[in-house]
Structure 1
Amino acid sequence: MAATRACLVALVVALTFVFLEGLAAAATANPEGRAQRRREVRSLLRRLNKPPLATIQSVDGDIIDCVHISKQPAFDHPLLKNHTIQMQPAYNPGGMYDKSNIAPHRIAQTWHQNGKCPENTIPIRRTKYEDLLRASSTRRYGKKRPESIANLNSVNEPVTPNISTGHQHAIAYAQVDNYHGTKATFNLWKPTIGRDNDFSLTQLWITGGSYRGNDLNTIEAGWQVYPDLYKDRNTRLFVYWTRDAYHQTTGCYNLQCPGFIQTNNQIALGGSISPTSTYGGAQYDIDILVWKDKVGGNWWLQVGGYYVGYWPSFIFSYLQNSASSVQWGGEVYSPDVGQTSTHMGSGHFPNEGFRQASYIRNIQVVDTSNSLIPPSDVGLIARHNNSYNVQSGIYGSDWGIYIYYGGPGKNINSP
């Protein structure tokens, strides 16, 4: 027995020595590559973190910088150098309604507990050095991977994407020429994430162009849980855009590249949202509206009653004029596609219904006359419906057009 213990001790010592030797080798290998990486990280941090007029430390670990509205990252875009900020839309869409008996959720973000940003500033979640180190490269930081939307062809039929990309969807969609926006009420949850580089989100997509031509334009908004991007598992408000099918030259999350112009001093894109719904208990919702203003053509974002800001139409190609498709629903990404335990929505299937399954209700689109109307010919997509599914149904006329969606990921019924 003593000899066995001695052998085990010797083995542990040997393995520890090999491990430390490996760390030392890694620390001295490719010093020029590491130095280049540090230079790229510092350069990107200077571009993203503009000098603040005030700083708020949030209890969730975020640092919120209050940056003068004219100094925000959007104005690094070459087409926005001499842009005059539009502080609010000229026209709101007509016909907005919500007859639900669920109380509207005035958006609350965790950083609000410790202060607010002054007038003429916007809150920007500070990017930290370690955030960039988690990214595969500074070039890919803050960007989605390709196939981040269910692909549709020109005749309203789903086109199966390459499942090796790791994206799974449970969505509703409507396709028609000349959409000018959409509004919906989104049920808030805090889904379980299987591993740090998985994410789970619920959102709307406004799109034009295609994957095939590498010219897909999207405007996106919703909530997500994404540990690899935010370093925690909080539910966070986000926006996204692309004009090149999620390739590396345009588009990003939140304010992590030039493009979206924020006008609001209360909402931090990428900031935590609370409270969230509980299974069988209280349900919390948030309204999100995106529409093309009739004056100037900017695509405005309104969240929970706040005008947040806008995407100038000229940063897009197809979306300079109108959209050809709108989608609403959930998406999960995991490298372990088909095997992940990451939840979508509440983590429960649609057939469980209210207070158990996630929903999106009062789904409307903005037509060419700037009116909110119910979409026609709404289709559903859930290609991995043993893991995540979507269905429409009848809960009550006060919900308008709606869906239940979501699921637990890998389970006993998964292939």
Structure 2
Amino acid sequence: MVLINVHIGLDSVDSPFGGCTTHASYLVLKGLVSRFGQDLEFIDYPNLVRLNPAIPFKTRGNGAVVLRVRTAVSNIDNLVRTVTSIVKGYLKLLGGSSQPGIAIYLGSEVPNVLRRMYLKALTDYVHRDFLTRAISELGDRVILPLGVSRGVIGALASIGGLVNEDCTYELIVYRSWDNTVNPTRCVDEGSIKIMDQKYMEYTFLNYDYERGRALVSPHGPDPVLLGIRGEDPLTLVDALKSVDICEDVSGWVIFRTNQGANPHHSILRSVNDVRPYQAGCVEGRVTGKPRVLRGGDVVLTISDGGCSVRAAVFRETGMTSVSRELISGDEVRACGVFKHWSGIGVVLHVEKMFVNPVNLVRYLNPRCSVCGARMKSAGRGKGWKCVKCGFRTLNAEKEVIVIRRDQLRGHYIPKDSAIKHLVKPLRRYGREKLCSMTRPKGAWFR
């Protein structure tokens, strides 16, 4: 019996009105286990791969999923039929989808073409010709059961993701299908706080202590009840036992993810070459005075020499106080996503920032050596005069005052309530690790 690794990528298996690609992948996972049993082995946790958050075509979280399994070559046709049937059935329940994508790659090693697809889909807009070339290069190693749609971009990109990079895990609990129409979720928030305090060293973004509310549940009418994010899959199972859930659940599964790792900040871009729908970082100096908009958002201008770009720091991030104190000459490295603002052009939505401030230098008129008052110029080439006592001199020099602004130097990240999927929260700094495919251990779905 000849065995082969099969990578099943799914994307856009949802709609703006409901559904969730992770939920669809959970149903595919359960279907494969039921259909093939011991004839199929999962060689990695399901991968939840978040892609470029600036892309306007995403439905919600712009997350794709890949299931990595090992099975007999003779099972491939049945596997493709099973996956396709489950996805089509799910889409029928939703009443359609944006542009769903299924990509099934056959091969032990993830090829460079899919690694490039992942990086592109994570940090930029993927044009149709880029997708076409990638599919052509993959040849008969890739199967596209639903044809070539926009969702195929994310499906292929997910297969190329989470290979030798920092990763986290998320245990997602799903609601019963009848409850998905109700946006209100029945989870005891007090138990979330207790769970967070107990597992603080291993989890993140569970509870917002500033506002006194849980962060684990979404708000829309979709199948996700809650998600617990952390560093270790086995700990997440223990953490779930501390949560009081008061509605029916259909099951749960642990994903390995690129969330909370800043993967989309990996590219340093030139200010004169940024475009809408990109993600990354720029370095330069602040020029001019920060502009405070109505509502408290702050817009900076960052220049790297001959070119400049606007950077918006939003009030809810908690980073506007330092942004308002920046002055011309301050060095900054700002990271985030680039979007188009009408009447302005490309604007960086700041998700992370490093500030290296310049010192302020002030020049004050010399003091009178007789009475100590500040003197005034007596005219060009005529020295100084004291208006208080009348003393005059040609030998005084202006006083140089250096105002140090070292207190502004440092890294700034959003507060927990404003953290987006990919952005690394404070609790994760120092926990980075190099991850690759990991065979699931213990109970990892139900």
- The TM tier, using the shorter chain, reads under 0.3
> Going by fraction, where is helix more abundant, 1 or 2?
2
Q: Which has the higher contact order (CA 8 A, sep 6+)?
A: 1
Q: Over alpha carbons, which structure has the higher Rg? A: 2
TM-score (norm 1): 0.21
